[in-house]
Amino acid sequence: MPVHVDLSAHEITVPVVIRNAPPGRLYEDAVSRERAGIVSSGAIAIRSGVKTGRSPGDKHVVRSPESGADVWWGSVNHAIDEHTFLLNRQRAIDYLNTRDQIYVCDGYAGWDPVTRVKVRVLCGRAYHALFMHNMLIRPTLEELERFGVPDFVIYNAGQFPANPFTAQMTSRTSVDLCLERREQVILGTEYAGEMKKGVFTYMHWLLPARGILSMHCSANQGIASGGRPGDVSLFFGLSGTGKTTLSADPARRLIGDDEHGWGDDGIFNVEGGCYAKCIHLDEAKEPEIWRAIKFGTVLENVVFDPATRAVDFESGLVTENTRAAYPIEYIDNAQVPCVGPHPKHVIFLTCDALGVLPPVSRLSREQAMYHFLSGYTARVAGTEMGIVEPQIAFSACFSAAFLVRHPAVYARLLAEKLRRHDTRAWLVNTGWTWGAYGEGRRIDLASTRRIVDAINTGAVDEAPVHRDHVFGLEAVTRVPGVDGTLLVPHRAWSDEAAWEAAARKLAAKFKENFAAYAAEAGPDVLAAGPV
């Protein structure tokens, strides 16, 4: 691939610029410069430094007259002024210019050729370049030669801290986005996920303006038959709820595991790779992900034996948030190009730490809107700094940490698409049952897979339901191969009164959280919540 690229517009003067290097070169540099290891599968194992998860409290967006009125300001998008952004940008550029060489990764975000975004990453670590080589859509040689001016630029100087005495800084970590300049600056964190989510955050801003719903979800498609395309299912949920695991189905084609857009022609993946959690990874339970860990894959923060080079996937010694980043074509049944028709099913995944929600519920369109805006789950260990056990949380659109516009913008787009394409909605609990976290146990993966299979095959379309008197959910009571007791939580608990108390506690939290969206949602959606 050609090495030359003009970086003068980015104020980069480093004499050695390695652009879109092949994985082998990046491996060599990571091993020699960053003390990375090569494990038995051929993948590279490396540490992200002190930060092993995202730092949402250090995420900033520039408040400007052009975009300020349309940004959802508050606990997610912390405002900084342009002057502070430019100070941090210059700090990042100055740091990169002290390196003897830097890495440039050019790629695309979005498989839809009409709306795709040209992304450029400037970084000092070979590991970061390899990570983004895997996560972006990789251009052909011809596309790289005519790549031109990027639409979005990331300055990753994560090895260098932010200056805490700079106005509006809260720590030595700062992850800053300027919508007008179409740039992200990273200081004080080497966690590679900040780059991936920076691109996604920008797409959350860009796509809705074009009438496209940006979604934090995975997607797969059934095998085409009789000249007709297979049906598409979307899986919404936060990290740890099962999006990646459940969408990697040997009987279906994987479109993507985390980020998608839904436009007039169907859905498309935003990314060119997958970023799978690999804590407790087991070959028998998740064979597709297991086989994807090979030469080219980045294993982040895993523990391995330097003598045998065997990875201990059970170990959370560094973090519970161990990850594998690999190109999507490493999944045996990946669908490339990563696009599909309008979805038949939308599945909301929640990890209910209180253990009171049914494993599967059929949702009305109003209930779908309520649960989409609520985005209830438990944040699981390792996905953010400081999380060591599940914590009850609500994340609007199952994506609050990455939303730029008000959640109602995305909710209205979803409602319109559900209606137009007659898409069915489901709530699937992948969390606890037979009691809350610490008392009950987490629903086994095999049962959840059977539930999802039943949704995809239509086996539960007309199945009997039990209407939950607290949440108003229609819990499906018959799923092939699944214990019927498991499907109705209050029957699964040994103490039904304890279930009732826990359910009412959670219902109160739902109502408290939804108060912020009630006016935008309207009375029909509000009435679809807990009764």
pLDDT, one tens digit per residue, over 365-421 is 999 999 999 999 877 554 455 555 668 889 999 999 999 999 999 999 999 999 999
Residue 43: the pLDDT is 97
End-to-end Cα spacing for the chain: 61
Task: Check pLDDT > 80 for residue 226.
Answer: no
Q: Using one digit for the tens of pLDDT, what is the confidence trace for 300-321? A: 999 999 999 999 999 999 998 9
- Work out the average pLDDT over 285-304: 95
- Cα 405 to Cα 156, 408, 412, distances in angstroms: 24, 8, 12
Residue 17 forms beta bridges with which residues?
A: 102
Q: Of the candidates 111, 115, 340, which has an alpha carbon nearest to the alpha carbon of residue 212?
A: 115
The answer on pLDDT for 512 being more than 50 is yes
62, 180 Cβ separation under 8 angstroms? yes
Q: Which fold has domain 213-276+338-526?
A: Phosphoenolpyruvate Carboxykinase; domain 3 (3.90.228)
**Span 309-337, mean pLDDT?**
95
With the C-alpha atoms ordered 177, 183, 188, 193, is the resulting torsion angle positive or negative? positive
| CB half-sphere exposure, 285, CA atoms < 13 A | 15
Picking from 271, 333, 324, 319, the residue whose alpha carbon sits closest to that of residue 295 is 324
Catalytic annotation, residues: 54, 197, 216, 239, 243-244, 258, 323
DSSP H or E segment with residue 417: helix 407-421
Which residues does 69 contact at the CB level (< 8 Å), separation at least 6? Answer: none
281-290: average pLDDT: 92
pLDDT tens, position by position, 50-101: 999 999 999 999 999 999 999 999 999 999 999 999 999 999 999 999 999 9
Residue 465 and residue 479 in contact, taking contact as beta carbons nearer than 8 Å: no
Higher-confidence residue of 229 and 16: namely 16
What tokens appear for 489 in the block?
A: 């939580």
Output the six-digit token pair for 154. Answer: 């990331």
Query: Between these two residues, 297 and 392, which has the higher pLDDT value?
Result: 297
Strand, coil or helix: what is 206? helix
What is the pLDDT at residue 380? 57
* Cβ pair 94, 155 in contact under 8 A: no
Sorting pLDDT into bands at 50, 70 and 90, what band is 2?
Answer: very low
Phi/psi region, residue 237 (left: phi>0; alpha: psi -120 to 50; beta: rest), is: left
**Buried-state track 416-452, b at ≥16 Cβ within 10 A, e below 16:** ebbeeeebbbbbbbbbbbbbbbeebebbeeebbbbbb
Query: Domain residues of the chain, as ranges?
Result: 8-34+56-190, 213-276+338-526
pLDDT at 221: 97
Q: Does the domain made of 8-34+56-190 have the CATH classification 3.40.50.300?
A: no
pTM for this one? 0.93
pLDDT digits (tens, 9 = 90+) for 436-450: 888 888 999 999 999
pLDDT digits (tens, 9 = 90+) for 177-218: 999 999 999 999 999 999 999 999 999 999 999 999 999 999
* Residue-averaged pLDDT of the chain: 93
Residue-level pLDDT at 393? 87
Partner residues linked to 216 by β-bridges? 259
Instruction: Answer for the pair 360, 427: CB distance below 8 angstroms, yes or no.
Output: yes
Q: Which pLDDT score, from 0 to 100, does residue 531 have?
A: 83
pLDDT confidence band for 248 (50 / 70 / 90): confident
**What band does 40 get if pLDDT is binned at 50, 70 and 90?**
very high
Calculate what percentage of the chain has a pLDDT beyond 90.
Answer: 85
Gyration radius from the chain CA atoms:
23
What percent of the chain is modeled with pLDDT above 70? 97
Reply yes or no on whether the pLDDT at 28 is more than 70. yes
Do the first three CATH levels of 8-34+56-190 and 213-276+338-526 match, i.e. the same topology? Answer: no
CB proximity list for 222: less than 8 A, separation 6 or greater: 230, 231, 232, 251, 252, 253, 456
Q: Which residues contact 422 (CB under 8 A, 6 or more apart)?
A: none
> What is the total residue count of the chain?
531
Phi, psi of 177 (to 5 degrees): -125, 130
- What's residue 383's pLDDT? 46
Residues with Cβ < 8 Å from 464, sequence gap 6 or more? 476, 477, 478
Between strands 266-269 and 259-263, the pairing is antiparallel
Are 494 and 479 in contact by the 8 Å Cβ rule? The answer is no
User: How far is the C-alpha of 215 from the C-alpha of 419, rounded, in Å?
Assistant: 17
* Predicted local confidence at residue 408, as pLDDT: 93
The position carrying tokens 């599968």 is 41
Please give the pLDDT value at position 1.
43
Q: Do residues 188 and 158 touch, judged by C-beta distance below 8 A?
A: yes
Q: What is the pLDDT of residues 114-161, one digit of tens each?
A: 999 999 999 999 999 999 999 999 999 999 999 999 999 999 999 999
